[in-house]
Chain A
Amino acid sequence: MFDYCVDPQSLDGFYWWSCYLTTVKHISFYKSFLVVFALLGVTVPLILIFGFMGAVARQSKLYPIRLFGITYTSIVRGVPDIIFFLFVPIALDQGIEYLRHKIKCPDWTDPIRQGNDFVVCQLAKMPMGSTEQWIHETYGFFLAALAFSIVFGAFAANTINGAINAIPRAQIETGVAYGMSRKQIFMRIQFPQMWAYALPGLSNLWMILIKATPLLFLLGVQDIVYWARELGGTKTARFTYPHEDWRLGYFIVLLVFYLLLSWLSEIFFNKLTLKVTKGQATLSGMNNKNSGKSSS
């Protein structure tokens, strides 16, 4: 990085550290923190969509749809998330390749499962074998993000379902008395208000989601855990910057990162709660309304 970094063996103290912490691999480590935020950015909208659809399915009047909603939410809750993270990407991968194989190579007669192998024709490979490495990595990342969204969507569905039910019955009856249709009642009364009721559950879910992000490592994504292990491992004298086993140090950096993230999220959600409960006839809503006027 710096000019004086040409011969690291001759450096010590501050100069050694300034060179060590700016190697190409360290820059990749710093960039991998963005992977965490990318995952959060991709999954949060999907989680809300899945959660919302799951909750609507559970409220449905049609039995098959309701059954689907209930099965989805209860199976995901009954099984450790890590199992889904391992299962969903590989299952999706094989599912997509299987479908492409059926469409693109209709005259292929060999069975797809040959003993312990999963064989599809070259055209059906997803992404194509010839594509660049970064496309493979991005594809893997999105499969992982989808797995996260399916799991956390089920939790969100539960929360949103509870929130829809928590809206005072009298308000819905008022809507009926005004002659609103079921759809109107949902769009005008239930939908705008459910967020306030869902917020404690959703903020809790966000905290759990943050703490699930290092599991990306297990899915083969080069995230912060990957780089912490890579950089922290013992480097013998053959390396430019030899050092002992520093993994503990790198993991403590990750620990601090996650503590900060949790702490900042908590502050943010406390503010948001104040905002969405404004004017509601609940304890926090009332406190909020009075907070401007009285000093107590």
Chain B
Amino acid sequence: MSCFQTLTDYGLRAIGLGVRGLPKADISLCDQIVLIGSGMIWNIYFAVIALFLGFFAATTIAFAKNSSVALFRIPSSIFIFLLRGSPLFIQFFIVYETFVLLPKVGIDLNLLIAEITIETRWLTRAWLGALIVLFLNTTAYSAQIFYGAIQSIPIGDIEAAQSLGLTDKQINKRIILPTMLRLSWSSYTNEAIFLFHATALVFFSSFPAWQQKGDSLYYASYFADKTFNPFVPYPIIAIFFIIFTLIIIYIFNSIDKRLNKHI
């Protein structure tokens, strides 16, 4: 079987397209590269959506933790403590078990264009359930990073804005928010890399891989089990992760340049 054939058979196997049965005997290097690469689709999906939504949630929570109103400050502090103080691995288990215990019902959501039935059983599937865990986790870590940055904004900047007659809302938007991002960006880049690496835990640890649709580590360990040779699949997945980590660093550094353009 040519490598091109393998690519068409297994290139999108991780999302359920292509040949159903995984290669069992005579596993070639090409099989391993293609399937592990196919699994990367899930890792990228989780990382991109969790980071994107987490960014906005984290900003909100960082401001809430910095607020002088106890009603905002205390819940956000507790949220951050709970999610930063416990292992992600345990969080996956807890959330999965909670979602399994939920009653299986469908909620009809009437959008203007179409009617969608939201079903609670989706929560026990990785694409939604694990995404929620990763989203909450990155929100807590990023919120703490942003909060630390808010705390270290030079007080003179804020006083200058006040003396210019800016309102609190304007100060938040024009002084605190941009300075916060600038100060925290290198730590936030680290968090993005950590989250991307954390996506490898999803299928491997808690959420079942339905119909063998798993992420890259799911396939890598599948091959390591089948061939009893860890020296091929694990280096392959490592190279995949290094490549995408470099891409993350590149993207975040470009944003960093934009944030620091005026300095």
Contact = CB atoms under 8 A, between A and B. Distances in A.
Contacts of A229: 93
A184 B25 CA distance: 60
Interface of B: 25, 81-82, 84-91, 93-94, 97-98, 100-101, 197-198, 200-201, 204-205, 217, 220-221, 224, 226-231, 234, 237-238, 241-242, 245-246
B228 A116 contact: yes
Nearest to A249: B97
A255 B197 contact: no
Interface residues of A, number: 38
A255 B228 contact: no
Interface in A210-266: 210-215, 217-218, 225, 228-229, 245, 247-248, 251-252, 254-255, 258-259, 262-263
Interface in A59-104: 75, 78-83, 86-87, 90-91, 94
A90 B232 CA distance: 12
B242 A255 contact: no
A247 B85 contact: no
Nearest to A211: B87
A263 B81 CA distance: 9
Closest 6 CB pairs of A and B: A80-B197, A262-B85, A211-B87, A87-B234, A248-B97, A78-B242
Contacts of A108: none
Contacts of B97: 245, 247-248, 251
A183 interface: no
19 contacts: A78-B238, A78-B246, A80-B197, A80-B198, A81-B197, A82-B200, A82-B217, A87-B234, A113-B229, A210-B87, A211-B89, A212-B87, A214-B90, A229-B93, A247-B97, A251-B93, A255-B86, A258-B85, A258-B86
B93 A75 contact: no
B224 A78 contact: no
Contacts of B85: 258-259, 262-263
